[in-house]
Amino acid sequence: MKERRLLWQLFPTYLLIALAILLSVGAYVLVTLKDFYYRQMTADLEVRARLVESLVETPFLTGDPVVLEGLVNRLGEVSASRITLVDPAGSVLGDSHEDPARMDNHAERPEVREALMGRTGQALRFSQTLGENRMYLAVPVEAKGAILGVVRVSLSMEFIDKKLLSIKGRLALGGGALALLVAIVSWWVSRRISRPLEEMKLGAARFAKGDLDQPVTVAGALEVSALAESLNQMASQLDERIGTITAQRNEREAILYSMVEGVLAVDAGERVLSMNQAAAELFGMEPQASLGKSVLEVVRNPDLQRFVKKTLSCKGVLESDILMKGADQERYLQTRGTQLRGAGGEAVGAVLVMNDVTRMRQLESVRRDFAANVSHELKTPITSIKGFVETLEAGAIDQPEDARRFLAIVSKQVDRLHAIIEDLLCLSKVEQGAGRSEVPFKEVALRDVLEAAIQACSAKAGEKNVQVVLSCAGNLMARVSPPLLEQAVVNLVDNAIKYGGPESRVDVEATADLFEILIRVRDAGRGIEPVHWPRLFERFYRIDEARSRELGGTGLGLAIVKHIAQAHGGSVEVTSEIGKGSVFTLHLPAA
What does the pLDDT read at residue 341?
A: 82
308 pLDDT more than 50: yes
Ramachandran class of 80: left when φ > 0, alpha when ψ lies in -120 to 50, beta otherwise: left
Residue 546, pLDDT score: 44
| Average pLDDT of the segment spanning 474-480 | 87
Structure confidence at residue 367 (pLDDT): 65
Q: How far apart are CA 510 and CA 586, in angstroms?
A: 9
| 339 against 343, higher pLDDT | 339
Neighbours of 221 (CB within 10 A): 11
Kindly report the pTM of this predicted structure.
0.42
Q: What band does 547 get if pLDDT is binned at 50, 70 and 90?
A: very low
Output the pLDDT for position 435.
47
Which range is most confident: 135-139, 200-204, 241-245?
A: 135-139
Higher-pLDDT residue of 60 and 445 is: 445
pLDDT of residue 374: 58
Q: How many CB atoms lie within 10 A of CB 167?
A: 16
pLDDT for 436 equals: 42
Q: Read off φ and ψ for residue 70, nearest 5 degrees.
A: -65, -40
Average pLDDT, integer, range 539-564? 63
Backbone conformation region of residue 144, classed left if phi is above 0, alpha if psi is from -120 to 50, else beta:
left
* H or E element in which residue 245 lies: helix 222-258
pLDDT tens for each residue of 81-95:
888 888 888 888 888
Sheet architecture: strand order including 467-471: 467-471, 505-512, 516-522, 581-589, 571-577
3-state DSSP assignment of residue 107? coil
Distance in angstroms (rounded) separating the CA atoms of residues 447 and 478: 10
Query: What Å distances lie between residue 567 and 364, 379, 431, 554, 571, CA to CA?
Result: 22, 31, 8, 22, 9
Q: Beta-carbon neighbour count of residue 232 at 10 Å?
A: 19
Where is mean pLDDT largest: 50-59, 356-365, 554-563?
A: 50-59
**pLDDT above 50 (res 473):** yes
The stretch 31-44 carries a mean pLDDT of 83
Report, as an integer, the average pLDDT of 403-423: 65
Transcribe 306-330 into DSSP letters: HHHHHHHH-SS-EEEEEEEE-SS-E
The whole-number pLDDT of residue 424 equals 57
Where are the alpha helices (H) located in 328-471, listed in sequence order? 358-393, 400-435, 446-456, 458-463
Residue 320: strand pairing partners = 335
In whole angstroms, how large is the CA radius of gyration of the chain? 64
Widest distance between CA atoms in the chain: 208
C-alpha angle 77-79-84 in degrees, rounded to nearest 5: 75
Crossing angle, helix 158-209 and helix 7-62, to 10 degrees?
170
Give the strand order in the sheet containing 82-86: 92-95, 82-86, 146-156, 132-143, 121-127
Position 1 scores a pLDDT of 46
More confident residue, 436 or 535: 535
* pLDDT top residue among 498 and 197: 498
Residue 149 β-bridge partners:
141
Residue 508 sits at the vertex; the CA angle it makes with 507 and 510, to the nearest 5 degrees, is 135
The rounded distance, in Å, linking the Cα atoms of 433 and 439 is 5
One DSSP character per residue, 203-216 reads HHHHHHHT--SSPP
pLDDT of amino acid 375: 58
Residues 6+ apart with CB under 8 A from 511: 517, 518, 520
Query: Within a 10 A sphere around the Cβ of 489, how many other Cβ atoms?
Result: 26
**What whole-number distance in Å separates Cα of residue 275 and Cα of residue 283?**
10
Secondary structure letter of residue 64 according to DSSP: -
Nearest CA among 300, 239, 298, 241 for reference residue 266: 298
pLDDT of residue 548: 47
For the residues 546-563, what does the mean pLDDT come to?
63
**Which of 50, 100, 99, 92 lies closest to 75 in space, CA to CA?**
50
**pLDDT at position 536 over 80:** no
Q: CB-based contacts of 518: which residues, under 8 Å, 6+ apart? A: 509, 510, 511, 512, 585, 586, 587, 588
Given a cut of 80, whether residue 289 has pLDDT beyond it is no
Cβ of 148: how many Cβ atoms within 10 Å?
Answer: 20
- Angstrom distance (rounded) from CA 510 to CA 519: 4
271: pLDDT strictly greater than 50: yes
Q: Provide the pLDDT for residue 13.
A: 74
- Mind listing the domains of the chain with CATH numbers? 7-163 (3.30.450.20), 259-356 (3.30.450.20), 358-438 (1.10.287.130), 439-589 (3.30.565.10)
